[in-house]
Structure formats: structure tokens, C-alpha cells
Amino acid sequence: MEYGLICTICKSRYDSVFGSQICKKCHGILEVEYKASPKKVDIRASKSFWDFESVLPNGDYKHYIVGGTRLVRGESNDNVYMKIEPENPTRSFKDRGSVIEIAKALEYGYSEIVCASTGNMAYSLAYYSKIAGIKAKIFMGEGANQNKVAKIKSVGSASVHIINGDFTKAEDLAKSYAEKHDAFLTGDYCYREEGQKTISYEVMGQLPDVTHIIIPVGNATLISGMFKGLVEMVASGTITRMPRLIAVQASGSDSVVEAFRSGSNAIKYMKPKTKADAIAVGLPKFGLQTLDAINKTGGSAISVTDAEMERMQHKFYEEFGMVAELGGVASLAALEKMRLSKKDRAVAIISGANV
């Protein structure tokens, strides 16, 4: 779809060839703004990620494999379904956003991308950078998961820098690297959000009567992207109602849950204390959008402990023979705390499995 970009802070507008995801006037985050109303999509008939090309920013994406993951019914509970995002090429939902970012980097003529990551996004970007023939510079916070660092390096396209500081500081370093070295700044920005909204299109096609979608929250582009997809589908007449969106965080890193519980409109930084590295983010970038998505769908926010996630990790392995990471099964741990009626149909997003 034809589009432009608009700054979320100062409302400056840029055309689609602008070549950055950051406003050059105020350094605010840009958002994709389509030139036409969203198109109705035949979600029931869709077979792959690229069936949703009509609702994505114009671009050359076709040679990348991504998405089209299965929705599987739980063995122990008929009301519960699982969206198996580890079926993506680098075993997490991050691939959906990475293909859009890497295609845009190529379109704008960059030979290098840079990002801050807790691991999965960097692995995903390194993988698609390799396919596209460009380099990737990765900044990771102290205490980065060494298994993930090894995976990223093994791709061969990326150099990894472990910094003294947390993820938020890594993001600042990635930003300044992009400015100094003319690299394309990738990460939790607008193009990624566009790719990630396709999970909503897939879920609504696979289970039209879904009532709840439970979503792990790190930087919160997954939930904000999924909400954007739902809003578009309602506007285009593709669906008539939205399921409730339930945000899940680790109890040692649950600033959005805290804000939701206290009815606050401000998200306060919290130093992450959890083994679930994929969702250990002190100040989620899309935290406010998450509160908005929860409120507008009648959803909620739930914290889960590391022990609860570990229990679900074992249960998921017993049922599916697949080892998901702790953040990847946070949604299943949250489900244990929810009271569903017999009519409810819940989808837990299993977001990643890089362990």
C-alpha cells in the first residue's frame, strides 16, 4: 500500500523514500501513515505471510520466507490455542518485522543496519541481512544470553557488542552509531510494527471466534502491532469485533502491569530482574500504546513469575516436543491465572524458542 511517515511527537510528515524511522527535526519515532483506507482481506483463505501484502508498506519482500505459522489446539484445555511463532526461520515472531526492515534498508541503499536487542531480534536481523547481503551491527546489554550471542555470530553477517549497561542504554548507542556511520537504524520502530501486525491477520483467519489473545510484552511492539492489525481489520470490514488483548510481563520486569493496576497513564522504569531475557525491558518503548490496546479491547495486564514460566516451559515441551524460551511461554503462564468461560476461545502467542 502507498504510504508516508508521520512523527509521533511533532507530527512532521515525510514521504516513503525518507530512509529513516526517526524524525530528523525532533528525533521522535515515526509511524507509517497509509494514503488510502485499509483494504478488506480474505483472511480465511490466506496461506502465507504475503497474502497480507496489500496491507503492508509498498516494498520488495517476496524473496524472504517468513510467517504462516500454525495455530494449534492445547491438549489439556479445549478452549486454548497456541500460535507457534518458533516456526519462523529464526524461531521467533521477530522475523515478521525484520523482513520489512531489511527490505527497506536495501531499498534506501544502505550497506549496514544497526540495532539494540536482547537477542531474538538481532538473530533475526542478522539472518535476513545475510540473505540481503548487508552487514549488521548489534548492541546488547550486560548479562546478554550467551547462547543467543553465539547464534547471532554464527550467522556470519553480524558483529556483536556487549555494553556496560542495560537494553535502554544499548538502544541509545545503536542510535548514535546509526548517525555516525550512516547505518540504517532498525529495531522496535514503525516498519517492524507493520510486519508484526500480520500475526493478528493470521490469528483472526485461523480462529474467527477468538475472544482473548495473550501476548508477551518486552518492548511491546508485538502487542502494539497486533492491535494496529485489529484496528485495520475492523475499519476494512475484514472482522466485526476485536478480541480482548492481554499483556503479559515477567514479575521482575512489569512496568506496564504496574501502570495498568494503578490506573496510571505513565510507565515508570523498572530495572529488570528476570531470567526471561526476551521480555526483560525496563521501559517498554510501546508501553503507552499497550495500555491503549488493553483499554480499547477490554483486556488486561498480568505478571508471571520465572517459576511459573519454567513450569509452562516443561509442560509445553511435554505436549509439543519443542523447547520454548521462558518469555515465549509467558502467555501460557498467564492463562493459568485467567478465568475463561466455556464459550471463550483464547490464543496464547508462543513468541520464541531461542534456548
CB of 185 to Zn ion, least distance (A): 15
Count the site residues for Zn ion by CB under 5 A: 8
Piece in contact with Zn ion (CB under 5 A), picked from 12-20, 48-56, 148-156, 217-225: 12-20
Q: Which of 9, 150, 235, 307 binds Zn ion (CB under 5 A)?
A: 9
**Using an 8 Å Cβ cutoff, are 125 and 186 in contact?**
yes
Piece of 11-19, 99-107, 120-128, 212-220 that binds Zn ion (CB under 5 A): 11-19
Q: Cβ 28 to Zn ion, closest distance in Å? A: 4
Nearer to Zn ion, 30 or 41 (CB): 30
Site for Zn ion in 186-215 (CB under 5 A): none
Q: Which of residues 17-76 bind Zn ion (CB under 5 A)?
A: 23, 25-26, 28
CB of 179 to Zn ion, least distance (A): 15
Nearest to 311 by CA among 349, 273, 283, 337: 337
Find the radius of gyration of the CA atoms of the chain.
Answer: 19
CA pair distance 189, 286, nearest whole angstrom: 9
Sequence letter at residue 344: D
Give the Å distances, CA to CA, from 156 to 150, 152, 195, 244: 11, 8, 24, 41
* CA nearest neighbour of 92 among 141, 115, 125: 125
Helix (H, G, I), strand (E, B) or coil at 333: helix
13 binds Zn ion (CB under 5 A): no
Does 7 bind Zn ion (CB under 5 A)? Our answer is yes
Q: How far is the CB of 26 from Zn ion (least distance, A)?
A: 3
**Longest Cα–Cα distance in the chain:** 56
- Considering beta carbons, is residue 7 or 207 the nearer one to Zn ion? 7
DSSP secondary structure of 131-197: HHT-EEEEEE-TT--HHHHHHHHHHSSEEEEE-SS-HHHHHHHHHHHHHHHTPEE-SSSHHHHHHHT
Please, which residue, 25 or 268, has the CB nearer to Zn ion? 25
Q: Between 26 and 266, whose beta carbon lies closer to Zn ion? A: 26
CB of 56 to Zn ion, least distance (A): 24
Alpha helices, H only, the chain: 94-107, 120-132, 146-155, 167-181, 190-196, 198-206, 221-236, 255-262, 287-297, 306-320, 330-335
Taking the complex as a whole, the smallest distance from the CB of residue 190 to Zn ion amounts, in Å, to: 13
Which of 10, 150, 266, 307 is in the footprint of Zn ion by CB under 5 A? 10
**Closer by beta carbon to Zn ion, 30 or else 207:** 30
Looking at beta carbons only, is 23 or 245 nearer to Zn ion? Answer: 23
Binding site for Zn ion (CB under 5 A): 7, 9-10, 12, 23, 25-26, 28
